[in-house]
Amino acid sequence: MNMSMKLTNIMPTEKYIHIVKMTEPENNYARKKSIQSLLRPLKTNHIFDFLIVLDDFNYINCWCWFWNRSNYDTINMQKSKFPGNLNLVHLSELTDEYIIDGPVQIKTLYLKMPKENIYVDSHKYQEKIFNSKFNELISIFSELNAKRINFYFHNMDQYSLDFSSKLKIKEIHSVGKETAISESYMQKIQKKMCIVFDRRPDLTVHIEKFADSSKYHYLPKEFEWMDVIRNRVNGNMKNQTYSFTFSDNYKFKSRFYDSLKSLEIDFGYQTERFNELRVEYEVEYYSEFIQLPMSGFTLKLPEFVNSFLG
């Protein structure tokens, strides 16, 4: 599946290099590994996981021309045409394994969110994926002690953003149309938003936390996000300016669409609508020292970080 969020470093505006007093080691693993090698074992391939919920009526055999079969049998015979795993579940068998976002609809095609492990209507899937990635990236900034982030949205006037309740956001401000921040995109944009974070009591950055796959699901395959972490920690940057593009150009085969049409199942995947959604952002970090887990001496931060970040 070629669904990516392209992150481009436009212009790092400032670098602050401090002398840092190291604390006692909490995890020697983080000290010895680069961010890539730390995350490499966590990479997973994405496979579509479909769900169709059926009621009693869809299990009743019906005579049609020269065969006698139920809707369940008919759909089950088409499984090979689905580009992934297809789960056919009776309404009464919806256990915790099949959590559905919103009211359950019979004979509706749902797709599973790989990080949240919930099924969403195919019409909402791409927007939900974008929000999931967007929130994970914000979570990375938060872990790196972000103070404020200004977002500039392009081609997104028809979309809404859902900020995760797990993010410790102090304020959210929405502003009208502004001029884009980079010279490459000096056109009007549709929306500007600013979020402000509370100052954390402990500003220590623990690299090993990024290996939590339940919180950072997409990070192991997003090398540009790793650069964000490296640039922040390596140079103790106070300000960063970046741009990323979300593109979903996955093409389903015609036989899949033909199968859904014959089964009278609606499919709402819209590749064109979710192509080249772009967000530029300015990040301001808290300027206090980043204390990393190592003991016994004091040295310049970049020299230390290069020893385990690569």
- Quick one: angle between helices 223-235 and 125-143, nearest 10? 20
Q: What is the mean pLDDT of residues 36-49?
A: 86
Q: What is the mean pLDDT of residues 70-82?
A: 93
Whether 20 contacts 298, CB under 8 Å: yes
Residue 110 pLDDT > 90, yes or no?
yes
pLDDT value at residue 172: 59
pLDDT value at residue 80: 93
CA distance 300 to 280: 31
CA 86-90-96 angle, 5° bins: 80
Q: Which of 236, 246, 240, 211 is nearest to 303 (CA)?
A: 236
Q: Which residues contact 109 (CB under 8 A, 6 or more apart)?
A: 50, 51, 52, 121, 122, 260, 265, 266, 267
Residue 120 pLDDT grade (very low, low, confident, very high; cuts 50, 70, 90): very high
Q: Which of 50, 63, 28 is nearest to 296 (CA)?
A: 28
The pTM (predicted TM-score) of the whole model is 0.74
Greatest mean pLDDT among 5-14, 207-216, 230-239 lies in: 207-216
pLDDT value at residue 170: 56
Greatest mean pLDDT among 23-27, 96-100, 162-166, 232-236 lies in: 96-100
Residue 82 pLDDT grade (very low, low, confident, very high; cuts 50, 70, 90): very high
Q: Which of 146, 148, 147, 150 is nearest to 179 (CA)?
A: 150
Residue 270 pLDDT > 80, yes or no?
no
pLDDT value at residue 187: 45
Residue 20 pLDDT > 60, yes or no?
no
Residue 235 pLDDT > 60, yes or no?
yes
